[in-house]
Structure 1
């Protein structure tokens, strides 16, 4: 839903997993794109409180979300020595290389240089501001067009927007998802993420900035991004009308 688990809840989760010897796999792929203060990773807490019982923990991140999907590269952090881990790091590396046909060492070297130079951190800072503006534009557009019939909670980071549609049943949501796919708009049905709230997950990464009319852009031109927003809105309005009927 675009939110973050609070620090006290993270402590409780770690304690619960340690008590029952549960392996935790923490997916932090969007954590670096937090708009405000990033909550500490589970790995951070495990490192700071090494005196407490901690569960087996694997944290993973992905440069595909912060840089480019074509990087096909990420990072792993293990809370325990490899020989104690249920999933050894070297075994993961061998499996990844076998699956990726050797992968791209030159990409790994470029990413390493990008990080150590500080350019990666500056890039992430820019993208945080960029995605915050794009998500705000998406929420403003849908709120103006659909009003209270949709629930658009402001996410705390990333570029994904939850679009709650409480008046639609599961069958209607699946049909809306398929209709949007047929219209060239990819979403993910909310049933994959939330069993209680009905809705869709929207992606604002490619939305771009607000387009204004100027001499270089004819006033009768309909920018592609505005056209996509119009198609999205039309399908949502149609589905909501059918749900009310």
Structure 2
């Protein structure tokens, strides 16, 4: 009996995964009971049990004399609420536990729901490999030297200037510094405008890697309430900066990680004017700007900067390949200080990879790739939202991301995702507990899920099992 139960649940998970990922769409007819029985080598009663389970979940409907058909998905849950944040800055101490969480989530056999990484099959790896081979043949001298002074390849800078037209630009070539990643770009900016002991304003919840950087540099974090639709509260930032004391603000205005929100243009304009007037340097991470889930590429805050106060950081790790390790800063009036930090910390960025990226961008392939990638991420995010809605506790709230490919989930207050993490890992399930997104330890009833992989039946089943853990807590 237990074996039969497992079989019908497995079939239901596989079919619901196909529905969630768009393989089976609204109105499609499912294979007949007898055909599923024959194809899967299951008894007719097992297949019927699986279909009845899907019917109970509102995923399929039975039509007399016709079979089972895919139903339109049920409406998703409400979004998380904006929370009050501490009025005083906090020291940051998350790195050791975060590294442990990310290492555990990367082990073989663990469902890939933790680290925000794209599935390899979504990336143009073969095209990039061909470019590497061609450039190595045509430019053999690129491996013969290096420079701590001339770190930026003009061909790549030229392509970034062209791309900046879509960011409200064009931005001057003189603003750009090519870096080894977006992480390095953020770190260089922080070193250029802060000193140990300074306070930096951050979103709440904030991307944990930004918090790690603050911890490493001996900086304190002031959490600013952040809305899952409109981003960081400009009003709260106004109050926090009236008496000075904040050296910089770290922000992801497009596709914020983990909320996925996009700050509206009018609020970006207010934000830019406020920080410039208060002398608060802005470090903007726009790594998800190209991965918006709307109709138009949103402008960054940098587009509304009139005085060079915004340092725009990004990379191609989330859209082309995490292995490229190419990022950049459009540094505004801080260019000299950032270029100096780059020179004394890591010197030049790999010139071969800079040429590869420049040629890929020039070919026009990137825009074609982005259209396909955004469509895939949109489907995967929605599939994950629907799966969480089906399997997690009834009072669960879920974000509706406008960019990127992560999902922020708020569980009932009595559920502690940090306490339950080891149990989940023990069942080969990974996620990032919510308190790692807060220097003050908020969001213990929250978690972030990665939607960077196609929503397979295995992913669907992983979400189901994770929901069972939370429901039984």
TM-score, normalization by structure 2: 0.41
1:162-181 mapped onto 2 (5 Å cutoff): 162-169=408-415, 172-181=416-425
Would the alpha carbon gap of residues 4 and 226 (structure 1) be closer, same or farther in structure 2, given more than 3 Å must change? same
For these two proteins, the number of residue pairs brought into alignment is 211
Long gaps (5+) in structure 2: 1-258
Q: Is the 8 A contact 2:433 2:444 kept in 1?
A: no
Point out the structure with max Rg over C-alpha: 2
2: CA distance, partners of 1:6 / 1:41: 10
2:403 counterpart residue number: 157
1:96 aligned residue (346, 349, 355): 346
Identify which of 216, 224, 233 aligns with 2:464. 233
Alignment correspondent of 2:261: 3
User: Helix, strand or coil for the counterpart of 2:271?
Assistant: helix
Query: Residue 64 of structure 1: CA displacement?
Result: 0.6
Considering fraction of residues, name the structure with more helix.
Answer: 1
Residues of 2 paired with 1:56 and 1:235: CA distance? Answer: 44
The residue that corresponds to 2:387 in the other structure is: 141
Q: CA offset at residue 81 of structure 1?
A: 6.0
In 1: Cα distance, 2:314 partner to 2:344 partner: 18
CA 1:22–1:28 in 2, change beyond 3 Å: closer, same or farther?
same
Query: Structure 1 residues 177, 4: closer, same or farther in 2, change over 3 A?
Result: farther
Q: d(CA) in 1 for partners of 2:308 and 2:412?
A: 37
Deviations 1:30-89 (A, max 9, x none): 11100113331111122xxx3xxx462211011111111101111210122634xxx322
User: How has the CA–CA distance of structure 1 residues 198 and 6 changed in structure 2, closer, same or farther, with 3 Å as cutoff?
Assistant: farther
Cα distance in 1 for residues equivalent to 2:443 and 2:462: 27
Change (3 A) 1:103 1:77: closer
**Which residue of structure 2 aligns with residue 66 of structure 1?**
319
CA drift of 1:228 comes to 3.9
1:201 equivalent in alignment to 2:421 = no
Structure 1: 5+ residue runs without aligned partners?
210-224
- Do the aligned partners of 1:22 and 1:55 also contact (CA within 8 Å) in 2? no
Which deviates more, 31-40 or 173-182? 173-182
DSSP-derived class of the 1:175 partner: coil
Aligned pair 1:30/2:292, yes or no? Answer: no
Structure 2 SS opposite 1:227: helix
1:155 CA displacement: 0.5
Equivalent of 1:110, from 319, 344, 356? 356
Quote the Cα distance in structure 2 between the aligned partners of 1:185 and 1:71.
Answer: 28
How far the C-alpha of 1:147 sits from its partner, in A, is 6.0
Partner of 1:14: 272
CA 1:88–1:145: 2 relative to 1, 3 Å: closer
2: CA distance between counterparts of 1:127 and 1:94? 36
Q: CA deviation at 1:93?
A: 4.9
In structure 2, do the counterparts of structure 1 residues 73 and 90 end up closer, same or farther at CA, with 3 Å as the change threshold? same
Residue in structure 1 matched with residue 298 of structure 2 by the alignment? 39
